[in-house]
Every structure is written in structure tokens, then in C-alpha cells.
Amino acid sequence: MSASQQEPWTVLRLLEWTTDFFKKKGSDSPRLDAEVLLAHARNCTRIELYTAFGEEPGEEQRIAFREMVRRRGEGTPVAQLVGYREFYSLRFRVDDSVLIPRPETEHLVIEALDFAKASGVTDRPLQIADIGTGSGAIAVAVAKNFANCEVTAVDRSASALKIATWNAEQHGVSDRVTFLESDLLAAVDAPAQFDIICTNPPYVSDSEYDELSPTVRDHEPKTALVSGPLGTEIIQRIIQEVPPRMHSGGWLIIELSPMIAEACGQIAKDSEHFADQHFIKDLEGHKRILSVQRC
Ligand SMILES: C[S@@+](CC[C@H](N)C(=O)[O-])C[C@H]1O[C@@H](n2cnc3c(N)ncnc32)[C@H](O)[C@@H]1O
């Protein structure tokens, strides 16, 4: 038996071996993936792993960890293995019926909260919509961080709405967030008009979809990602359909891909209903969020 086979499988050794394994499997964040999975198997936080490097996890924990490592190696996203993802410092339950919330979407939440605070509306709850709510990440994060608002969150997917409803309950905002199965705002009767409409809609083109990493393509719902041949189709519909549902001066905030940013900006400019517009760039300097103001 070689010396390395005799070495005990401590927390540190498990992390190092697994990081190396995930690196070979092409993960973008091998160490982080290993830490999140081992912390989940040990029912502790990632930080707590750092004070337990020399400990040997018991057989039960190692079996649970090994199974998650195997599935991660086959491409299953870490968030689906542990059942949640942190977004805007809140924990959101996820499964394969919802898009896993992405860090870039936090820019959209910040923008919505900035507009909410600047609105000066105090005599009534600010009316906010979230089109394509998925796990409820945007709707819940906004409601949690801005007390004087009511959020109407829609999705075409009934299974996504179940997850979103659970997340809103967990974060204590279900009295101010209403979930509805709807194609954009078609099934929303009230309120008649919104102050802010947020959306992270599907914006991947058919050809881009074929190029996505298998971790995304094989595990997250296609209906959450793909818009059509161009990628702009659903955003175009939103820009065309929502103006009657917005207060004058209200903001429509759209997450998009940098590839279609200019095209979407032009669609909004061509609309007679929107005046001011600006982009917010992500941490890599790419245009990610388009905000347009209703005339
Ligand atoms: C990119 S995901 C965004 C999920 C979540 N808002 C987030 O940021 O993590 C897009 C969501 O829009 C929903 N969707 C797609 N087409 C829709 C439509 N026509 N009307 C309402 N929701 C739609 C999908 O089911 C999916 O949940």
C-alpha cells in the first residue's frame, strides 16, 4: 500500500483531492465547489471547514460527499446538489425547474432599490413587477430590502412559481409578494400600473444555446434561457407590451446579454413610450442591465 493511500482522508485532503478532480473536469470554481459540497455534507459553514482541516469526516459524511462529487463531476450544478444558492445575501431554494440566480442579476436588484428609494412615494406602497420570476430571487430580494412596496411576480412556469412561493415564505415577504402564472403581464389585473418593472427574461439565441456549457444546457430549464433565433424576441415583446402598465416616470429594468445590448437599446429608443435610458455594466465591464424610463 502506498504512503498516500495510508494517509487519512482529512477535511484538507478531501478538499485538495476534490479541487484537483473538479479542475480536470473543467469547473470554473473547483475549490469553491469542493468547499460548498463538503460543508453541505458536514452540515457546517464553509468557514468552519477552515478550522477543521485536520479532522476526518465520518463514513456517512464521506459517502454523502462522494456521491455529490460524482454528480458534480458529471456536470450537475453545485446549487442543485445542495438545493440552494445565495443571492443578494439571501438563501434561495432551487431545483431543476428554475434558473439558478446569477451574481450579475444583483446589479438589477441594486438598480431597482435605487429607483425605489429615489421615487419619493410614501403615501402608498410602490408597485413593482418582476417578469419571469423563476426562483423569486429578484422579487424577494427587492421586497426584503424595501419595505414600502408590493411586488407582483409572474412566470409562465407553474413549477417555478412553487419554488418562488416557498422562497418568499422563508424570507417573510409573502404578504407583499403576489405570484401569478402569466405570459408576461397578460394575467395580471391589478395593479393597473407599476412604478418599476424588473425583468431577467430569457435572452439566449438558438445558436448561443448550442454553445452553452453542459452544466447549464443539460441542467437548467431551456424555457428560462432561450428567447428565439435572435435572443431579443422576449425583450422586444416586453418593451412593446408594458408601456400601458407603467406610471409615467416609472422605470423598466431589463437584464440582457452584452451581445444584444445595443439592439435592445435601439428597440427602446424606437418606442415612443420611453425617454431616458442607460446601461449598467457588470464586473467584467460588459453592458448587462438596460434601464429605460416611461415618458
Ligand atoms: C432567465 S430566467 C430568470 C429567473 C429569475 N428572475 C432570476 O433572475 O434568477 C427567466 C424566467 O422567465 C420565465 N419566462 C419565460 N418566458 C416567459 C413569459 N413569456 N412570461 C412569463 N415568464 C416567462 C421562465 O420560465 C424563467 O423562469
**Mind giving me the DSSP string for 83-119?**
TEEEETTEEEE--TTSPPP-TTHHHHHHHHHHHHHHT
Per-residue pLDDT tens listing for the chain (295 residues): 565 668 999 999 999 999 999 999 999 999 999 999 999 999 999 999 999 999 999 999 999 999 999 999 999 999 999 999 999 999 999 999 999 999 999 999 999 999 999 999 999 999 999 999 999 999 999 999 999 999 999 999 999 999 999 999 999 999 999 999 999 999 999 999 999 999 999 999 999 999 999 999 999 999 999 999 999 999 999 999 999 999 999 999 999 999 999 999 999 999 999 999 999 999 999 999 999 999 9
Main-chain dihedrals φ then ψ at residue 73, nearest 5 degrees = -60, -30
What range does the domain containing 145 cover? 95-294
In angstroms, the CA 3 to CA 5 distance is 5
CATH (domain of 173)? 3.40.50.150
Do both 45 and 117 map to the same domain? no
CATH (domain of 61)? 1.10.8
**AA identity, residue 236:** Q
132 is in an annotated binding site: yes
202 is in an annotated binding site: yes
Do both 104 and 48 map to the same domain? no
Domain contains 83: no
- Grid cell listed for 197: 418593472
CA 166, distance to chain mean position in Å, is 15
Pocket test of ligand 1: the residue of 96, 99, 130, 256 to mutate, having most ligand atoms within 8 Å of its CB, is 99
Domain contains 86: no
Do both 217 and 161 map to the same domain? yes
**Of ligand 1's atoms, which has the minimum distance to the CA of residue 102?**
9
Do both 67 and 166 map to the same domain? no
Do both 234 and 116 map to the same domain? yes
Do both 123 and 48 map to the same domain? no
205 is in an annotated binding site: no
Tell me the CA–centroid distance for residue 272 and ligand 1, in Å: 26
In angstroms, the CA 253 to CA 186 distance is 19
Is 99 close to ligand 1, i.e. is its CB under 6 Å away?
Answer: yes
Do both 142 and 275 map to the same domain? yes
Do both 54 and 112 map to the same domain? no
Do both 57 and 130 map to the same domain? no
Do both 129 and 65 map to the same domain? no
Looking at the structure of the chain, the number of domains it has is 2
